[in-house]
Every structure is written in structure tokens, then in C-alpha cells.
Amino acid sequence: MEMMEKAEYITSEVEDMVVLRNIVKRFGKVVASDHVNIEIKRNEFFSLLGPSGSGKTTLLRIIAGLEKPDEGVVILEGKDVTNLPPYKRNIGMVFQHLALFPHMTVFENIAYGLRLRKFPEDEIKKRVYDALELVKMPHEMFAERKPSQLSGGQQQRVAIARALVTQPAVLLLDEPLGALDLKIRQHMMLELKRIQRTVGTTFVYVTHDQGEALVMSDRIAVIHEGRVEQVGTPYEVYEKPRTKFVANFIGEANFFEGVLRNGAVETSFGVVKVVSDIQSGKKVVVSLRPERIRVGKTAEGADNKFEGKIREIVYKGDVLIVMVALDDTEVKVNVPATHPEARKLREGEAIRIGWDSGDEAGVFELEAE
């Protein structure tokens, strides 16, 4: 019976490059992967996003074959590879600390996988040069250098070239931008996206940085405590988070708790109108993005209007972050610097804020404790 089910997966999911079925992985008492199901499509830029310790890297290592799942099946290009070692899987991987071979030149690093596959020497040369060109590193300048003679960003590019040169079915990236400083990181984000578009390889990208995930991904899986909280496009996970964790982890959000009655939530500072199909009478939490809240004149005509007091203003150039006190609840509001009333806001003064009932990022049922 189990065999038949397996066979069925294999025929029905060839379109999916990577499939994780019911993956369970434990390290001692810690459950790193808790019945994870993910399907990653051909040519997709797919991110595994979660805080550190959420189990996202474990999932990547399970796809690579560097960890063996305790339960579940890993399917690569329609083939069950659960019991195959990494060197028999058609994958490429870029490691967190890049793991370039320090005793080899850039050329030899990139040629490594090709030599193992016994390519003829002229083919190796051609492919290595093409790979270097893909990552915009002129081979005349860089091919004979050692990794220690390269900058962080250049090492990054070599690591990507090395992993892509064998034309793997899927490229696995484990927080490869973590060690770079901000400017190079932002640049490399766009570079990675360009490289992915050029080669069309499926990318699986592990990151704890929601900004990176939103910018680069076609789809994102949000991982929390070994479980998949939500899988969706950047737009979906940002605008339509399915759980409170996702709403909180991706972007910023204000949370109001209360009891849902007749399309409104009774909170400690007043009644908040919401759009939700949760049953009346349940305890819920409403999440609201700071940029959704309007202030001053623009707040007029909103479904939900409240008077508050400005507790603090933080100037960030393009936006003002205004902390507004509604009774004992503090609400974070992002006011664009271009807002006509932005310059008139003063700490300690009263402010009117408002938003429409359709604007909330989500209404989530509070789990019974």
C-alpha cells in the first residue's frame, strides 16, 4: 500500500522539481522538522524563511542529502532520492560560509564538479569560463587567484559559479549573503535574481531576512518551530498572512486582542470593525500594518477612527514612525514624510488615526490555552 502511494507521487509530480512529503527530523529531543510538506516548481525562486533555529537549514540539508530525515520522502525531479547520498543527487549548494577550497585556484574550485564528472579538458575550460562570465568575473583576472585573494562579494560569486557549473536540477543556498555588508548584500540580492533568471535553475534559498525573501522569491515558505506556517507569493505572505506568527515575522504589525462579535472586535481601547469569517464570540487577535494606518485629515472617512496621544516620533528619512497611545495600547504608525501633516506632528499632542476594516493584515483566532 505504501509502495503504491509512493509510485503515485512519482507519476503525478514530475512538474515539481523538489517535493518534501511528511518530512520529520529529530535531533535528540528537538524536532527540527515536523511533518513538512513542500512542493517547489521548476524554475522557481523559492525561499525558506524563518527565524534562527526554526529548522529551515535542516530542510535544505535534507534536500541536499546532508541530513537524512527520520520520516518522509524527498523527491527530486520526480525521483525518490530519500536514501541517496548527496554526491548521487543532481544538486548544487552554496554554503553559509561559502566553503571554497582554500588550496585550489578559482578555476580549480569551479572545475571540481566537472572533473569528477570526467568532462574533457577543453569542455571544462569552456564551462568554467562561461560560469565566471555568468557571475561577472572576467576569467583573465580571477581564474588563477586563490579564494583568499578575493573579496567577500567575489568569493560569493565563485561559490555560485561552482555550484551552478554542473547544471544541477536545483541550487540550494544557505543564507549565502549573511556574511556580506549591507551595500554588497543589496547588490548581490539583485545579482542572484538576475543569475536565476538567466540560467532558469530552480533556486531554494534559506534566509532569516524577510527583506531578502520578499525581494527575490517567487514563493516563500515561512518556517516556525519546524513547521510550515504558510506557503505563498511575497504578496500573499505579506498582505494575507495566515497565522499571527507570519503577520509578526514578515513586516511589522500591531496586534489587538479582543472578542469578535458581529464583525467587530471589542478591544481594550474600543470597538474595531474587521472583515472576518471567524465565528462570533471567539477570542481573536487583529493584526494591522503600521503603513495601513492613516493620520490627521486622511484618517477621516475611515471605518475605524480613534483619538490618541503621540508618545514618540522617530524620524527615518522617508517615513516617520509615530508611536500612538490609545488608552493603554500602543500603536505603531508609519507616516510618509511627504504627508501634508507630517511636519506638524509633535510628541505629547493629540492625534487622530484611522483605517478601513478591509485594511487589516489578518484576524486570527487565539489558540485556547
Partner 1 sequence: MSWMESLIDFVRKYKLLVALLVLGPPLIYLAVYFFAPFIITILYSFGFIGRRGVITWELTIKYYQQALRWVYLKVFYNSVILAAITTVGSILMAYPVAYFIAVKAPKKWKNLLVVSVMVPYWVDFLLRTYALMNIFTMMKMMFTYEAVVIGMIYDYLPFMVLPLYANLEKLDKSLLEASYTLGASPFKTFLKVTLPLSKPGIASGTILVFVPAIGEFVVPSMLGGVSVTTIGTLTWDLFLKFHNWWRGAALSILYIAVVLITLIIYMRKVGELEI
Give the list of residues 6+ apart from residue 277 with CB closer than 8 angstroms, or none.
Answer: none
Amino acid at 302: A
Among residues 137 and 172, whose Cβ is nearest to partner 1? 172
Give the list of residues 6+ apart from residue 281 with CB closer than 8 angstroms, or none.
Answer: 259, 260, 261
CB of 135 to partner 1, least distance (A): 16
Can you tell me which of 24, 31, 66, 325 binds partner 1, judged by CB under 8 A? 66
| Distance (Å, whole) CA 255 – CA 361 | 10
CB of 141 to partner 1, least distance (A): 21
73 forms beta bridges with: 21
Residues 257-286 that bind partner 1 (CB under 8 A): none
Among residues 99 and 321, whose Cβ is nearest to partner 1? 99
Is the Cβ–Cβ distance between 202 and 46 less than 8 Å?
yes
Strands of the sheet with 227-232, listed across from one edge = 91-94, 170-174, 202-207, 45-49, 219-224, 227-232
Residue whose C-alpha cell is 534559498: 205
Is the Cβ–Cβ distance between 293 and 354 less than 8 Å?
yes
Can you tell me which of 48, 62, 64, 333 binds partner 1, judged by CB under 8 A? 64
Among residues 17 and 163, whose Cβ is nearest to partner 1? 163
| Distance (Å, whole) CA 331 – CA 311 | 10
Can you tell me which of 3, 4, 28, 148 binds partner 1, judged by CB under 8 A? 148
User: Grid coordinates standing for 179?
Assistant: 556574511
Question: Of 20-28, 62-70, 308-316, 317-325, which part binds partner 1 (CB under 8 A)?
Answer: 62-70
Among residues 100 and 324, whose Cβ is nearest to partner 1? 100
Residues 85-144 that bind partner 1 (CB under 8 A): 85-87, 89, 91-93, 95-97, 99-103, 112-113, 116-117
C-alpha angle 15-18-22 in degrees, rounded to nearest 5: 115
Does 152 interact with partner 1 (rule: CB under 8 A)?
no
Size of the site for partner 1 (CB under 8 A): 28
Among residues 100 and 214, whose Cβ is nearest to partner 1? 100
Among residues 30 and 190, whose Cβ is nearest to partner 1? 30
Helix, strand, coil proportions of the chain in percent (round to 5)?
A: 30, 35, 35
Question: Of 159-167, 217-225, 242-250, 324-332, which part binds partner 1 (CB under 8 A)?
Answer: 159-167
Residues in contact with partner 1 by CB under 8 A are 64-66, 85-87, 89, 91-93, 95-97, 99-103, 112-113, 116-117, 146, 148, 162-163, 166, 172
